[in-house]
Amino acid sequence: MGWRSVFRSNLFEAKVAIVSGGGTGIGLAITRELLELGCHVVICSRDQRKLDAAIAGLAPPLRAKASGRACNVRDEAACMEFVEHVVREKGKVDFLVNCAGGQFVAPAESLSSKGFKAVVETNLVGTWHMCRAAFVKSMEAHGGAIVNITMVTENGIPKMAHSSAARAGVTNLSRTLATEWAPAGVRINCVAPGIIYTKSGFANYGPMGQVLMEAVAPAMPFKRLGTAEEVSAATVFLLSEGASYSSGSTVYVDGGTSLVGYPYPMADTGSVCNFPVYGDESELPPAAICRAKL
Ligand code: ADE
């Protein structure tokens, strides 16, 4: 049997959704599931050809309710124009899923200000642009639901200072919007994926991808990476009436990994963090005394 949503097939009949970053990876999985559930979906990314290819790859019955239009989420005016276009074409926006984003692996000390700002501009500021555009151009009048795709940031994310800062910002932005926009009937929640295997994501990670699969995954409680469909199912739940009393929350889709911390291998620099000079030296672990005194 082929892939099927766990949700009722006509759950989102007559609903209209925008999925930023909906042409690849997790965004595409969310797009496919929303279409399966009867939703009209308009996807955006910067590259029209990628959007066209994603739509061409959908099964014909799903393709009928899908469309794509280029929009750079870093550009506020472009986001406003994009949402206006959707409202003109489809009449309204019921759902917004902010999945556009990305990052690159870089040790903090070699991360330029330009690179840091670029990731924050896309992941945090871009999410803000899309939320505000969807609210003022449509949801303010009739309510709606927004899901922002973030990451598990509580323990930090080594070599992703830009992205972990941006995603933590999105989490708090979502909580604030949840309070401000509740009277308009707009709910805003986040889905925080752990390490999810997608071809497009792993193509970006380079050698780090191998480390994630071979060293990090076996040390997780579930001992495997997640799938895009597992992130999609949580997103659909938060968009649905099933989550009608949830706003400002974050659902973790991480196989329990946030409970034990991410077991990222730390670089061995050959040095150790020194023990403090104060305190009783006889209370220190013997091996540590030796190393600290090297
Ligand atoms: N995906 C990655 N970066 C993006 C951007 N700036 N706008 C839209 N989609 C994106």
Q: What is the pLDDT of residues 146-167, one digit of tens each?
A: 999 999 998 888 889 999 999 9
Q: Is 190 in the pocket of ligand 1 (CB under 6 A)?
A: no
Q: Which atom of ligand 1 is nearest to the CA of 102?
A: 2
ipTM for the predicted complex: 0.94
pLDDT in tens, 173-206: 999 999 999 999 999 999 999 999 988 888 877 8
Give the pLDDT score at 119. 97
Query: Cβ(45) to ligand 1 under 6 A?
Result: yes
Residue 293 has what pLDDT?
47
What pLDDT score was predicted for residue 1?
A: 64
What pLDDT, on the 0 to 100 scale, is given for residue 291? 53
Residue 276 pLDDT > 60, yes or no? yes
Q: Which 3 state secondary structure label does DSSP give 157?
A: coil
Q: Give the whole-number percent of the chain exceeding pLDDT 70.
A: 93
The residue whose CA has the least distance to atom 9 of ligand 1 is 45
Q: What is the pTM of this model?
A: 0.92
Query: What are the two backbone dihedrals, phi and then psi, of residue 159, each rounded to the nearest 5 degrees?
Result: 70, 15
> What CATH fold (topology level) applies to the domain 16-262?
Rossmann fold (3.40.50)
**Residues in Cβ contact with 249 at an 8 Å cutoff, skipping those fewer than 6 apart:** 189, 190, 238
Higher pLDDT, 211 or 141: 141
pLDDT tens-digit map of 115-138: 999 999 999 999 999 999 999 999
CA of 285 to the centre of ligand 1 (A): 50
Which is nearest to 27 in space by CA: 159, 202, 165, 147? Answer: 147
Q: Which helix (H) or strand (E) holds 6?
A: none
Q: Is the pLDDT of residue 281 over 80?
A: no
Beta partners for 226? 196
Q: Compute the CA torsion angle 276, 278, 284, 290 (nearest 10 deg).
A: 60
Q: Determine the Cα–Cα distance for residues 261 and 196; give it in Å rounded to an integer.
A: 16
- In angstroms, rounded to a whole number, what is the distance separating the alpha carbons of residues 128 and 94? 17
More confident residue, 290 or 30: 30
Probe target for ligand 1 pocket from 18, 19, 20, 119, with the most ligand atoms within 8 Å of CB:
20
Q: In sequence order, what E strands does the chain have?
A: 16-20, 40-44, 66-68, 95-98, 144-149, 186-193, 196-197, 226-227, 250-253
At residue 167, what are phi and psi to the nearest 5 degrees? Answer: -70, -40
Residue 222 CA to ligand 1 center (angstroms) comes to 31
C-alpha 47 – ligand 1 centre gap (Å): 8
Average pLDDT, the chain: 92
pLDDT digits (tens, 9 = 90+) for 54-109: 999 999 999 999 999 999 999 999 999 999 999 999 999 999 999 999 888 899 99
Q: Is 202 strand, coil or helix?
A: helix
Does 8 score more than 50 pLDDT? Answer: yes
Query: Looking at ligand 1, which residue's alpha carbon is closest to its atom 2?
Result: 101
Ligand 1 contact, 102 CB (< 6 A): yes
Q: Spell out the residues 6+ positions from residue 109 whose beta carbon is closer than 8 angstroms to its own.
A: none
